[in-house]
Amino acid sequence: MERLLQDFIYYLSVEKGLSANTLDSYGRDLKKYLNYLQQRGITSLEETDREEIARFLAQQQEKGLAPTSVTRCLAAIRSFYQFLLKEQLIEANPAKELETPRTEKVLPQVLSCNEVELLLEQPESGKTTGLRDKAMLEMLYATGIRVSELTSLDINDINIKMGFLRCEGKGSKERMIPLGSAAIKSLQDYLKHSRGTMIKNKDEKALFLNQQGKRLTRQGFWKILKKYSRKAGINGEITPHTLRHSFATHLLENGADLRSVQEMLGHADISTTQIYTHLTRQKIREIYNQTHPRA
């Protein structure tokens, strides 16, 4: 079963082009499932049925796994069996008819425009790392890209003259996203005064570097963001996705159409983008309650 899992992950990587993060998630979920089967004395995937998968998912819920994580786990199991079916290693997909657990849509945390401004003011422009950090924060808010997409950017992915960046998102889908004037200015400052002093290998292609002159990691950026959010005195847990959510919400609040926001975020389905319309409607309701005499 372990070998079949490795074959499946390889298939997802090579033929489906899924990101490293998605592969890690699927791998972790399926390892838990295979361990569960082994504990139950099941040594072949042909022996499993719908009820067995349902028992495993129920066990995960009892252990406190979030509904969204249980849904992801079922998606991984379903895809795994579908792969085995395609390879003619099983006769039917026992997970096919299982219902996805219902999950409540939790509205994402969004910063106000003032909080964003406060956050962007924190990096020190007199420091090499400060110029880098300012450029990264400005770019995240200006483009709404994911942190993994930000840290994957190469120097050639930026076209400052045209004011665009090229980004490769989930499923290796490429998209072009405009850069605002503030992001361009901070990026120019970083490239002119900072990146050249940080780089150790002239062949390094990464846009954003750590202090060893290598590509900055996602974990490295998380620490940087955490430091500046504390410094800015912003309440709540700020994540890189908070800036992505803020980007989308602020665009819609100021009149952007949903399709354009979907394109910039790289969402395959517009229903994923529609969660931000709930936030804008919530904002309209707050304004109405605060300003209408008879609200």
Active site residue 241: yes
Q: Is 92 left (phi over 0), alpha (psi -120 to 50) or beta?
A: beta
Concatenated DSSP letters for 221-268? HHHHHHHHHHHTT--S---HHHHHHHHHHHHHHTT--HHHHHHHHT-S
Q: Which residues contact 42 (CB under 8 A, 6 or more apart)?
A: 48, 52
The answer to whether 177 and 167 have CB atoms below 8 angstroms apart is yes
Active site residue 231: no
Question: How many Cα atoms within 13 Å fall on the side-chain side of residue 57?
Answer: 24
* Active-site position among 50, 166, 170, 215: 170
Give the count of beta carbons closer than 10 Å to the beta carbon of residue 23. Answer: 16
* Active-site position among 72, 146, 195, 245: 146
Active site residue 278: no
* Active-site position among 81, 190, 228, 276: 276
* Active-site position among 78, 244, 245, 250: 244
221: amino acid identity, one letter: F
Active site residue 190: no
Active site residue 55: no
* Active-site position among 166, 218, 241, 283: 241
Strand order in the sheet with 164-168: 158-159, 164-168, 174-178
* Active-site position among 267, 285, 292, 294: 267
| Catalytic annotation, residues | 146, 170, 241, 244, 267, 276
